[in-house]
């Protein structure tokens, strides 16, 4: 038996939830499925670099593997010198895959993020 309010499970013989004072029911209705947004993508920093040649190379690799990513600060770097590195942000779900792809890639001016 279950309490429909707090979802506590009770042994046979109980008819009322001690906490909520509501009648127990034999089966709980399943919880509504969590709404899944298809458009929402979480990004994680794969690496950052000052080297635009690296960026082009990384883009080509990520494109070829259909990894969802974006480059942060890219516009600034292509137009003028910027003290900000370009940060390569990849879809969190594909982070491990992306990292594996770039495992052998040793960019001269880049640092792979440590996690």
By the 10 Å C-beta count (0-12 exposed, 13-18 middle, 19+ buried), 4 is classed as middle
Q: Which is nearer to Zn ion, 9 or 19 (CB)?
A: 19
Q: Which is nearer to Zn ion, 20 or 41 (CB)?
A: 20
How far apart are CB 90 and Zn ion at their closest, in Å? 44
How far apart are CB 41 and Zn ion at their closest, in Å? 38
**Residue ranges binding Zn ion (CB under 5 A):** 3, 5-6, 17, 19-20
Residue pair 111/56 in contact (Cβ under 8 Å)? The answer is no
How far apart are CB 12 and Zn ion at their closest, in Å? 17
Q: Which is nearer to Zn ion, 7 or 111 (CB)?
A: 7
How far apart are CB 32 and Zn ion at their closest, in Å? 19
Q: Which is nearer to Zn ion, 3 or 89 (CB)?
A: 3
Q: Which of 42, 6, 9, 3 is nearest to 23 (CA)?
A: 3
């Amino acid at each position: 038996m279950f309490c429909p309010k707090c979802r506590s499970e009770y042994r046979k013989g109980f008819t009322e939830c001690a906490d909520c004072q509501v009648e127990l029911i034999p089966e709980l209705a399943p919880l509504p499925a969590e709404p899944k947004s298809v458009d929402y993508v979480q990004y994680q920093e794969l690496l950052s670099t000052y080297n635009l040649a690296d960026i082009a190379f990384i883009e080509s690799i990520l494109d070829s593997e259909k990894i969802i990513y974006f480059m942060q600060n890219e516009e600034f770097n292509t137009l003028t010198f910027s003290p900000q590195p370009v940060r390569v942000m990849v879809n969190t779900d594909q982070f491990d895959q992306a990292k594996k792809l770039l495992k052998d890639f040793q960019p001269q001016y880049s640092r792979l993020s440590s996690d």
